[in-house]
């Protein structure tokens, strides 16, 4: 192994020597007697190849290269998680009115409504004479209004022809005696009015009430008690009146 190593080194030296010697055809200096020619540049006397050195350190990194051309579009990734609900945005501009739609389906028939017929029942009458009899209906024969004829001036009673709620009132002139009258419904007094007469003076007494009446009920005024409370009065300038009218009828 040492022999082959020595031959290899000699062969390598010979090759290097040939490389540094001038090639054939080149001018060579004339060898003068007694003058030693210098060795070619780069050739050392007794040159022997040394042991290979250690690898050098890594050089500094080079500059970044140019951007490459865009690659092909990748495949669509998986859908991400649903994010939180965002804030409500501002109201947009009202759009253009759309075309008119088709007519809808006809609705169901409604419930029957109340009759358009207007129910009327009213009267207003006055006293024509001061002659009244106690404990019997007072006959008001001076008719102001009795278009439906629900008041009977021959008996002094109002007859209910339309069930419902009624309003009754009376205004009495009192003279010469005390006065006490009662408003009756079906033979029962429901309202009393008393006035004590003052000498040489005309007094006024009045009363009013709401009553619900059924068909056939009767309402009237009469002097309550005996003749000592019979101070009703009327003449051409002083009236005693009795009035009643229907507020609204029963729907049943």
**Residues 210-226: what's their mean pLDDT?**
92
Return the pLDDT at 185.
96
User: For 11-59, what is each residue's pLDDT tens digit?
Assistant: 777 777 777 555 544 444 444 555 455 555 555 555 566 777 778 888 8
Nearest to 193 by CA among 232, 156, 167: 232
- Residues 204, 197: Cα–Cα separation, whole Å: 9
User: For 69-107, what is each residue's pLDDT tens digit?
Assistant: 888 888 888 888 888 888 888 888 888 888 888 888 888
**Residues 54-68: what's their mean pLDDT?**
82
User: For 118-166, what is each residue's pLDDT tens digit?
Assistant: 899 999 999 987 766 788 899 999 999 999 999 999 999 999 999 999 9
Domains and CATH numbers, the chain: 122-249 (2.60.120.40)
User: For 167-187, what is each residue's pLDDT tens digit?
Assistant: 999 998 888 888 889 999 998
Mean pLDDT of the chain: 82
């Amino acid at each position: 192994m040492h022999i082959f190593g020595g031959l290899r080194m000699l062969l390598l030296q010979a090759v290097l020597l040939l490389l540094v010697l001038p090639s054939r055809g080149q001018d060579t200096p004339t060898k003068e007697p007694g003058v030693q020619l210098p060795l070619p540049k780069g050739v050392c006397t007794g040159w022997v190849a040394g042991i290979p050195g250690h690898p050098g350190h890594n050089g500094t990194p080079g500059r970044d290269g140019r951007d490459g051309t865009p690659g092909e579009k990748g495949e669509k990734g998986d859908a991400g998680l649903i994010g939180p609900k965002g804030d409500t945005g501002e109201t947009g501009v009202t759009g253009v009115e759309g075309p008119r739609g088709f007519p809808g389906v006809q609705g169901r028939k409604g419930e029957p409504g109340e009759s358009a017929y207007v129910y009327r029942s009213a009267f207003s009458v006055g006293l024509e004479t001061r002659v009244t009899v106690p404990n019997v209906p007072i006959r008001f024969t001076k008719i102001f209004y009795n278009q439906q004829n629900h008041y009977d001036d021959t008996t002094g009673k109002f007859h209910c022809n339309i069930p419902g709620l009624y309003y009754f009132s009376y205004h009495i002139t009192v003279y010469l005696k005390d006065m006490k009258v009662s408003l009756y419904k079906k033979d029962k007094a429901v309202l009393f009015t008393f006035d004590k007469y003052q000498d040489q003076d005309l007094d006024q007494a009045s009363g009013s009430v709401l009553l619900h009446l059924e068909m056939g009920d009767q309402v009237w005024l009469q002097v309550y008690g005996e003749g000592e409370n019979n101070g009703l009065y009327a003449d051409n300038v002083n009236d005693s009146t009795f009035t009643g009218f229907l507020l609204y009828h029963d729907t049943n």
